[in-house]
C-alpha cells in the first residue's frame, strides 16, 4: 500500500514505514529520514534481523522501492462496525476452543449422555474417522450423526457432506437435520441432477442426501461419485451393504460395491446400523472391511473365531443407556414365545406340502446337476417361499397353491405341442439382497406362481394334479376354522392383561407378518373379531410413501385405530412409540429383522414397558428356524461382546437354547 497513487516517493519514507526494494535480503522499517535538499534523504532503517543501517536515497531511486505499509500512529479512531465484524468472526471461528460442545448449544435438541459420549468421546477424537455406530434401534443415531456433522462444520473441518440412506428415510433425514440442527441438505433427485449445469450434482452441491438404491443401481452415478471428494460420508442402515462367501467365491451386492466407493471418496466415513451382525462371522468381517479393507482382507481362517472390532465401533444396548440423573433411558422390554400345536387337519396339510416341496427340491437339484442351474435355482426359490407361506397362514398357502395351479394350467393350454418351454422369470441371486421389500414381494409372487421342474406336458399335468389335491386340502383347512395360529392370537387378544388399559379400553398393538395374503387375512379376521372396520389398518411393501405416513399418523393419534398389521415395510424408519405392544405373527428368518421390528416401539420417548410375542408352530420347519435364530443370536453375542438383547424369549420346550 502506498500513500500517493501507484508510485512511492521520497516523501513516503516516514518513521514506521515498511520499505521493499532498498535491500535484497528483505523489507526494512524506517527509523528516521533526514532531508538533504529536495532530492536526497539520509535514511536510517532497521532490518528484519534487527540490524540498524543508514543509506542515501535519491529522487532517481523512487522507481526501485515501494512502501509495503504506511506507518500509522496507535489510535482508537478506526471504524467500530468493521472492528466488531472482524472480532466477532474471529470469536465464532475459535468458539469451539472455549465451548467444546458448541454444536449442542447451537441446536434445538437436548442430547442424552450416550449421544454426547458417542460424538465427543468416540467420534471427534478420531482423525480421520472410520467408524461404525451400532447402538440399538431407537437410540437416536440420526441425532448423533447430525451433531457430529455440525461440530465438524463449526471447527472448519467440513464443507462437503454426503448422507446415504434407504429411500424411505431420506426426507426424515432432511427434516431432522434442518429442524433440529439448522443444516440445509438437498435430496439427490432426478430433477436435481438434470438441473445441474454439468449434470454432476455431486460436484455442484456440498450438502447432499442420496437414496441408497438410487445410487447403487445407477452405474453412471457411481462413476461420477468415484471422481468426487467428501469431507464426510454417512451411511444409514449400513447393514444393507452386504457381501457373502458361497463356497470359496465372494459375492458382492451392488450396495456393497457402492460402500467400497463411498469409503474411497470420504475423508471421514461413518456407518450406522443397529444390526451389524446377522449371525454369520464371515459376513460380519466382510462388512467391517468397508471401514478397514487391509485388516479384514480375505476369508476368516477355520478356527480363528470372532475378531475384536471394538476400536472401530460403538455398540450399546438400550438396557445400558441412562439419563443424566442416572435413571434408565428406556423402559423394560420383554419378549415371549407362544408355541402352539397344529391341528390334525393342519398337520396333514403341513406334511403333504412338505412332501411336495421336498420332491420339487430334489428335482431342482437334478436340474442343476444336468446343467440347467438357472431353472433349478428358480424352482428351489419357489418351493422355499411356498413352505414359508405354509407356516404363515391357511390363507397364504391356499392362495399360493391356487395361483400356482392356475398358472401351470395356463401353460398347459399354451404348450399343447411339443415339450413344455420354461418361461419363468429370471432370478439374479447375486442381486436379490439389493431389492427392497416391495420388489421381493413381487418377485416371490411371480416365481412361486410359475417356476416348475416339469419338462413335458405329462409331468406338468401330474404336478397340477398334486396341486389340486393340496389346494383342496388347504381349502378344507381354510374353511374349517381350525387355524390354531389365529386361535393363539385371538386368545392373546382376549386374555392378556397387557393389551388393556385399566379402564378396559384396548391398547394399541402392532402385528407383523411376512406375506401380503396373510396380512389381508388378518385384517379381515381382526375387524370381525373387534366388530369395528376402522379399528384395524395395514401397511405393506406396495403402500405408497405418502399413504404410509398418513396411516402412521392415524395409528398414532386416532383413538379408534387400535391395531396396525404390517409387513417389514414398516420395520425401518417408522417411529411408533405411541404403542408398546407387538406380535410377530410370522417369525422372520433373520434375527435382525425382529430387532428392527421391536425398535419401532422401543425407542426414545417410550415410557411404557414394551412387550413382544412370537408365535411359533412347534415341531415344524418354523420351529427349526426358531432354533437356528437362537444359534445366530449366540454368534452375535460372542462377536458383539454380549451387547445383544434376547428378542425371542424362552426357547421352545425341549430346545437346545434358553437365553435369559
Task: Give per-residue pLDDT as tens, 184-223.
Answer: 999 999 889 888 888 788 999 999 999 999 999 999 999 9
Query: What DSSP designation does 301 have?
Result: P
DSSP-derived letter for residue 209 is E
Q: Is the pLDDT of residue 360 over 80?
A: no
Can you tell me the mean pLDDT for 525-544?
92
513 three-state secondary structure: coil
Q: What dotted CATH number matches 107-320?
A: 3.40.50.10810
Angle between helix 516-530 and 373-392 (nearest 10): 10
What is the tens place of the pLDDT at every residue in 131-155?
A: 999 998 888 999 999 999 999 999 8
Cα distance between residue 615 and residue 377, in whole Å: 30
Averaged pLDDT for residues 108-134: 94
Average pLDDT over residues 71-94: 77
Handedness of CA 434, 436, 440, 446 (dihedral sign): negative
Residue 177 has pLDDT above 90, yes or no: yes
Please determine whether the domains at 107-320 and 483-617 fall in the same fold group of CATH.
Answer: yes
Give the per-residue pLDDT at 660.
25
Written as nine digits, the cell of 413 is 393350454
* pLDDT surpassing 50 at residue 657: no
- pLDDT at residue 431 tops 60: no
Residue 404 grid coordinates? 400356482
Fold of 10-69: OB fold (Dihydrolipoamide Acetyltransferase, E2P) (2.40.50)
Q: What is the mean pLDDT of the chain?
A: 84
Q: In terms of CATH, what superfamily is 483-617? A: P-loop containing nucleotide triphosphate hydrolases (3.40.50.300)
Domain boundaries, the chain: 10-69, 107-320, 341-480, 483-617
Instruction: Give CA angle at 160 (225, 190), nearest 5°.
Output: 50
- For residue 641, give the C-alpha cell: 461382546
Of residues 99 and 423, more confidently modeled: 99
How much is the pLDDT for 459? Answer: 80
Query: Which tens digit of pLDDT belongs to each residue from 557-587?
Result: 999 999 999 988 665 556 788 899 999 999 8
Picking from 254, 206, 200, the residue whose alpha carbon sits closest to that of residue 227 is 200
pLDDT at 3: 43
Q: Select the more confidently predicted residue: 381 or 53.
A: 53
**What pLDDT is attached to residue 40?**
93
Contact 314, 118 (CB under 8 A): yes
Amino acid at each position: 500500500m502506498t500513500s500517493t497513487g501507484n508510485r512511492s516517493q521520497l516523501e513516503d519514507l516516514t518513521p514506521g514505514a515498511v520499505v521493499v526494494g532498498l535491500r535484497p535480503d528483505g523489507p526494512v522499517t524506517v527509523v528516521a529520514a533526514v532531508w538533504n535538499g529536495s532530492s536526497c534523504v539520509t535514511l536510517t532503517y532497521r532490518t528484519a534481523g534487527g540490524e540498524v543501517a543508514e543509506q542515501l536515497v535519491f529522487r532517481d531511486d523512487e522507481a526501485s522501492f515501494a512502501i509495503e505499509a504506511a506507518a500509522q500512529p496507535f489510535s482508537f479512531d478506526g471504524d467500530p462496525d468493521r472492528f466488531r465484524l472482524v472480532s466477532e468472526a474471529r470469536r465464532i471461528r475459535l468458539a469451539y476452543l472455549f465451548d467444546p460442545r458448541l454444536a449442542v448449544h447451537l441446536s434445538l435438541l437436548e442430547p442424552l449422555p450416550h449421544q454426547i459420549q458417542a460424538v465427543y468421546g468416540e467420534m471427534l477424537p478420531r482423525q480421520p474417522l472410520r467408524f461404525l455406530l451400532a447402538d440399538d434401534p431407537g437410540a437416536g443415531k440420526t441425532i448423533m450423526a447430525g451433531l457430529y456433522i455440525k461440530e465438524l462444520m463449526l471447527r472448519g473441518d467440513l464443507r462437503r457432506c454426503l448422507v446415504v440412506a434407504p429411500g424411505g428415510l431420506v426426507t426424515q433425514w432432511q427434516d431432522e437435520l434442518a429442524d433440529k440442527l439448522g443444516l440445509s441438505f438437498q435430496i439427490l433427485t432426478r430433477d436435481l441432477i438434470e438441473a445441474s449445469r454439468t449434470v454432476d450434482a455431486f460436484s455442484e452441491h456440498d450438502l447432499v442426501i442420496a437414496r441408497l438404491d438410487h445410487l447403487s443401481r445407477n452405474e453412471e452415478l457411481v462413476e461420477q461419485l468415484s471422481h468426487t471428494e467428501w469431507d464426510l460420508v454417512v451411511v444409514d442402515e449400513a447393514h444393507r451393504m452386504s457381501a457373502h462367501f458361497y463356497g470359496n467365491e465372494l459375492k458382492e451386492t451392488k450396495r456393497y460395491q457402492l460402500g467400497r466407493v463411498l469409503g474411497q471418496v470420504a475423508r471421514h466415513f461413518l456407518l450406522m446400523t443397529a444390526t451389524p451382525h446377522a449371525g454369520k462371522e464371515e459376513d460380519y468381517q466382510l462388512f467391517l472391511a468397508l471401514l478397514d479393507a487391509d485388516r479384514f482382507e480375505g476369508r476368516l481362517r477355520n478356527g480363528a473365531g470372532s475378531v475384536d472390532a471394538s476400536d472401530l465401533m460403538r455398540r450399546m444396548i438400550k438396557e445400558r443407556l441412562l439419563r443424566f440423573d442416572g435413571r434408565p433411558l428406556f423402559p423394560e422390554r420383554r419378549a415371549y414365545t407362544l408355541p402352539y400345536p397344529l391341528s390334525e387337519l393342519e398337520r396333514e396339510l403341513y406334511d403333504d406340502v412338505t412332501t411336495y416341496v421336498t420332491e420339487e427340491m430334489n428335482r431342482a437339484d437334478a436340474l442343476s446337476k444336468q446343467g440347467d442351474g438357472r431353472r433349478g435355482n428358480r424352482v428351489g426359490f419357489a418351493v422355499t417361499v411356498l413352505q414359508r407361506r405354509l407356516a404363515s397362514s391357511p390363507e397364504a398357502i391356499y392362495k399360493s397353491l391356487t395361483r400356482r395351479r392356475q398358472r401351470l394350467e395356463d401353460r398347459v393350454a399354451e404348450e399343447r405341442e411339443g415339450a413344455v418351454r420354461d418361461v419363468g422369470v429370471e432370478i439374479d441371486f447375486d442381486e436379490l439382497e439389493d431389492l427392497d421389500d416391495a420388489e421381493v414381494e413381487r418377485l416371490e409372487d411371480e416365481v412361486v406362481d410359475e417356476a416348475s421342474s416339469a419338462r413335458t406336458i405329462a409331468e406338468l399335468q401330474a404336478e397340477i394334479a398334486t396341486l389340486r389335491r393340496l389346494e383342496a386340502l388347504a381349502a378344507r383347512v381354510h374353511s374349517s376354522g381350525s387355524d390354531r395360529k389365529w386361535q393363539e392370537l385371538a386368545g392373546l387378544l382376549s386374555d392378556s392383561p397387557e393389551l388393556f388399559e385399566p379402564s378396559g379400553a384396548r391398547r394399541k398393538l402392532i402385528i407383523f407378518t411376512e406375506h401380503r395374503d396373510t396380512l389381508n387375512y388378518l385384517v379381515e379376521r381382526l375387524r370381525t373379531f373387534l366388530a369395528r372396520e376402522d379399528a384395524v389398518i395395514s401397511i405393506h411393501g406396495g403402500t405408497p410413501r405418502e399413504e404410509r405416513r398418513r396411516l402412521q399418523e392415524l395409528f398414532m393419534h386416532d383413538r379408534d385405530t387400535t391395531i396396525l398389521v404390517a409387513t417389514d415395510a414398516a420395520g425401518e424408519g417408522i417411529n411408533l412409540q405411541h404403542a408398546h405392544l407387538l406380535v410377530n405373527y410370522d417369525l422372520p428368518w433373520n434375527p435382525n429383522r425382529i430387532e428392527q421390528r421391536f425398535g419401532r416401539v422401543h425407542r426414545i420417548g417410550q415410557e411404557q414397558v414394551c412387550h413382544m410375542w412370537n408365535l411359533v408352530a412347534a415341531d415344524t420347519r418354523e420351529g427349526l428356524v426358531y432354533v437356528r435364530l437362537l444359534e445366530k443370536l449366540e454368534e452375535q453375542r460372542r462377536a458383539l461382546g454380549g451387547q445383544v438383547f434376547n428378542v425371542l424369549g424362552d426357547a421352545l420346550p425341549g430346545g437346545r437354547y434358553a437365553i435369559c
